[in-house]
Structure 1
């Protein structure tokens, strides 16, 4: 099987571990970077890649939008996959009956793991899905976790105990309203690496945040009194992993994650994590939960989180990828070439702004079996 990683960081611990498992079993792993300079930087999992495992690299844009093959520095031929073609024209192929079926299927992986969550990554994932290639998590499910307003609305509609969340255009607007009635948690509206998560007890705190984050769209939640520890619940294909992490809102700041057996979770929390995934349509995700005075409070949902240091997580992810690829390979599907910009891609691209102003049926051990 051929597994693609949509990520800017193939050396991320969980991805590197999955790559090691898959390549050791004879599967092929490709790295597709959606964020390279001008869109055509190529990531390579080669002899000197993570764990020394060889893979291939795919260019999401291609020089000037052209696709073709080239030789890498080792002399090995590397295929380029262009979903747009030169000057934006699709590199489609007509079958014997004249039907246009999209790009050569041989240039695509059997399944893609969507680790990156930027607008370009989401648009790329949506386009791959439009050609009939499964993506984990789907582009639509991933997008549901990027806008924290939409996230809260979906969660509360599904009956999840999600923290009450409201949108504010800027922190300056919030500060102009005067002293808050109680402690607030202020977060960037659009979830991304390095986004804002801060506690503000006074208008002076808000003014300080406004100065550091001018123009940043935010959401506001009332601070939930808690122990100062975030319960990090991660799920991969229905398998639960857990940890305790000192909250970044605690007086002494964020600390390392402590291991926590799922069996140590309060009653009902495992079910809560699974219900969250079902509500958002996620298969690889994280749920941040606080132990509030009246029970659990969900404060964030993350598509494809890091899941660092969780024994069994890479194996579960490798199993999921291979099973999904095999299911897709045997399912009768009619692939049709989408337009240059599909409706799904356009909708997802609108979900998250391109720029922000901010400071700096289970197969046991399926990955062990070589297939395809």
Structure 2
């Protein structure tokens, strides 16, 4: 689904290098893509996050998987040194702030859930229940929770008193989140049990799912608006149309067949655009 992508044709010119900006080079998607690239004769190297711009010749393309401030700063330095970084530091950083994310999406006409800045969770006043509360700054193990009453709000506030949060309306669903991942125009998808709807035993369980053409087109439009090449879109069913509730830069695309090959193809395409590989 999405724009068809074949691998670049012909022989590599020289020793093409791909840098991984990540704290976990063994991540399944990265490791599998690295294997594809290495079989094509590429050198794949993990870039130390604390070493600044590597000395010597820059890699032909860098894949920015980590989203920490340290990783974003390194990616920005590499870009200023003339390197190609996917996704860009700016696009990745934008997806870390849910207020900016929602503002950009809604300004571009995307059906993004109404997202309200609420300040520190410990200061959040009672409001109409139920609603969803999320960390304003998206990161691993951030806060995403359904608040169905005052007792739940107090419980969360005790655990996360200083956490800067946003609120979104709660959209009743089947209990399955619609996950769409896009890699260089290819759309991959699955449904996953929602942490907002079930107990811990069911969270994360995946189910095969084929999105409609409308949902796939919406996911591709998100990439155009946000300037992303590798990203995820979380959808729920609204009253009249699908509603976007989150956008993630460089997600894991867990277990999606073809995703590692698409990511390797993306790295080679970016290198080709810089004259390093024939297409």
User: Same fold by TM (over 0.5)?
Assistant: yes
| 1:225-262 C-alpha deviation (Å, 9 max, x unpaired) | 1111111000000000000001110133413222223x
CA distance in 2, matches of 1:5, 1:311: 21
> What is the rounded CA distance, in whole Å, between the counterparts of 2:155 and 2:42 in structure 1?
51
Q: Which of the two has higher C-alpha Rg?
A: 1
Contact kept, 8 Å, 1:110 with 1:329, in 2: the verdict is no
Work out the CA distance in 1 between the residues paired with 2:143 and 2:209: 27
Q: Is the Cα–Cα contact under 8 Å of residues 36 and 261 in structure 2 kept in the other structure?
A: yes
| Number of aligned positions between the proteins | 262
Higher RCO, 1 or 2 (CA under 8 Å, sep at least 6)? 2
Q: Does 1:119 align with 2:134?
A: no
1:86-134 CA distance string (max 9 Å, x none): xxxxxxxxxxxxxxxxxx4x2x111000000011111110110111110
Q: What is the TM-score of this pair, normalised by structure 2? A: 0.90
Post-superposition offset of 1:184: 0.9
Residue 313 (structure 1) aligns with: 259
1:141 paired with 2:91, answer yes
**Matched residues in 2 for 1:255 and 1:27: separation?**
34
Give the aligned CA root-mean-square deviation in angstroms.
1.7
Give yes or no for the alignment of 1:279 onto 2:225: yes
**TM norm structure 1:** 0.68
3-state SS of paired residue (1:206): helix
Does residue 155 of structure 1 match 2:105? Answer: yes
User: How far apart are the structure 1 equivalents of 2:163 and 2:255?
Assistant: 33
Confirm or deny that 1:16 pairs with 2:34. no
| 8 Å CA contact 1:226, 1:293 repeated in 2 | no
In the alignment, is residue 234 of structure 1 matched against residue 181 of structure 2? yes
- Give secondary structure in 1 for the equivalent of 2:197: coil
Residue 25 (str. 1) matches residue 70 (str. 2) = no
Distance 1:271 1:2 in 2: 33
User: Using the alignment, how far apart are the partners of 2:212 and 2:54 within structure 1?
Assistant: 47
Q: Distance in 2 between matches of 1:295 and 1:225?
A: 14
Runs of 4+ in 1 over 6 A off after TM superposition: none
| Helix, strand or coil at the partner of 1:210 | helix
Partner of 1:323: 269
Q: Unaligned stretches of 5+ in structure 1? A: 40-59, 62-79, 83-103, 331-361, 364-372
The answer as to 2:202 corresponding to 1:256 is no
Instruction: Mark the runs of 5 or more structure 2 residues left unpaired by the alignment.
Output: 1-15
